[in-house]
Amino acid sequence: MTITAAVTEAAGEPFQVQEVDIEDPRAGEVLVRMAASGICHTDLLVSGGTFPTPLPVVLGHEGAGVVAAVGPGVIGLAEGDRVALSYDSCGDCASCAGGRPFHCHGFFMRNFGAAREDGSTALSKDGTPIHSHFFGQSSFATHAVVPQASVVKLDDDVPLELVAPFGCGIQTGAGAVMNALRPPPGSSILVTGAGGVGLSAVMAANVVGCTTIIASDLRPARLELARELGATHTIDASGNVEEEVDAITGGGVAYSVEASGSTKALRTAVDALAPGGGVCGAVGAPPLGEEVSLDVNTLMGQGKTIRGVAEGESVPRVFIPVLIELWKAGKFPVDRMMRTYELDAINEAAEHAEQGETIKPVLLMA
């Protein structure tokens, strides 16, 4: 079948919207007619060449749509089902068997390798393979062949363009707070970076009852939105964030979430923790190979903890419906940070995201 997709031909080049061929779903896969896909910072890192994903490739990993066909062995999904898509996992390793698919032993290759486990792809053009299955999806297209592990079945009343970004950035930020850090009511928290992930963390902190919610960022408009979404305080990140946090809290925050992908901000998020057991969740992804410098004696002496958080430690089939119910209840207004674009405007959407003009671009496929 011929479909339309945004292809990344080479690192650093614009997306090329073109017609490509897609295979029928194989065993354990479904074909999804895409309705929408969020653009995540990770897509832009990969298209820029900072991750070793093979090219040419169709990126996109925050998709939602309708099942068009199911492959052999697929259980619980049928043509016409409305679905959201998330990351892929093997289901068999110790982490997956233990209910932690976000720590799947094969996570990197299954999600950044942009191919099936056997190395094959579902996409081609004029007989030449194009890499597919990016994060189990390759959702920058009108259709995607997706492993069943990446699929979350939705109720009929959920707007697909709203739920699409839940599959990565939104569940990552919200899950960092609700699943990984789990601050008790009345806690204090700092979120560095008020993009889609950071603002999701701010909203989640409000949901769980944090009473001091501090957001830092370089862009005044994002800080203003952070206040509207639940932040009690905001800080211009070009200043001394640690000093301002200390002045607000009288000694530091109990929790922090680093959501910007800046190693400098990660150091700040750790230094701003209060002594006696403060915990920082490292969520934002810098380019591969970047390292952070920390004061080890302060880390030890003040009992601080730094922990990595992948995909918000979310089991998508469980957590995405929770976030949807919070949105329905008016407690998780993620639509406030979204802006929609047609697929053929993907380069404009990516530019707006890079420049900070749009927090969460969402591509519409039809």
CATH for 258: 3.40.50.720
Assess if residue 118 is contained within a domain: yes
My answer on whether 10 and 25 are in the same domain is yes
- Cβ atoms of 102 and 119 closer than 8 Å: no
Assess if residue 36 is contained within a domain: yes
My answer on whether 262 and 352 are in the same domain is no
What was the pLDDT predicted at 286?
87
CA distance 221 to 212: 20
What the block records as the tokens of 105 is 């032993």
Assess if residue 347 is contained within a domain: yes
My answer on whether 96 and 146 are in the same domain is yes
What was the pLDDT predicted at 147?
97
In which domain, by residue range, is 79 found? 2-167+333-364
What the block records as the tokens of 298 is 């302060």
HSE value, Cβ hemisphere, 13 Å, CA-based, for 85: 35
My answer on whether 77 and 92 are in the same domain is yes
Last residue of one domain, picked from the residues 310, 325, 355: 310
CA distance 271 to 306: 11
What was the pLDDT predicted at 289?
85
Q: What letter represents residue 130's amino acid?
A: I
My answer on whether 77 and 161 are in the same domain is yes
CA distance 181 to 1: 45
Assess if residue 292 is contained within a domain: yes
My answer on whether 38 and 135 are in the same domain is yes
My answer on whether 93 and 123 are in the same domain is yes
**pLDDT tens, residue order, the chain (366 aa):** 999 999 999 999 999 999 999 999 999 999 999 999 999 999 999 999 888 999 999 999 999 999 999 999 999 999 999 999 999 999 999 999 999 999 999 999 999 999 999 999 999 999 999 999 999 999 999 999 999 999 999 999 999 999 999 999 999 999 999 999 999 999 999 999 999 999 999 999 999 999 999 999 999 999 999 999 999 999 999 999 999 999 999 999 999 999 999 999 999 999 999 999 999 999 998 888 889 999 999 999 999 999 999 999 999 999 999 999 999 999 999 999 999 999 999 999 999 999 989 999 999 997
My answer on whether 16 and 88 are in the same domain is yes
My answer on whether 51 and 146 are in the same domain is yes
Assess if residue 15 is contained within a domain: yes
Assess if residue 325 is contained within a domain: no
My answer on whether 133 and 231 are in the same domain is no
Assess if residue 281 is contained within a domain: yes
Tell me the CATH number at 122.
3.90.180.10
My answer on whether 160 and 28 are in the same domain is yes
Task: Identify the helix (H) or strand (E) that includes residue 340.
Answer: strand 338-342
pTM of the model: 0.96
Number of folded domains in the chain? 2
CA distance 75 to 67: 13
CA distance 322 to 324: 5
Which residues make Cβ contacts (< 8 Å) with residue 109, sequence separation at least 6?
Answer: none
Assess if residue 315 is contained within a domain: no
My answer on whether 156 and 205 are in the same domain is no
122 burial level (CB within 10 Å; 0-12, 13-18, 19+)? buried
Task: Encode 336-353: b = buried (16+ Cβ within 10 Å), e = exposed.
Answer: ebbeebebebbeebbebb
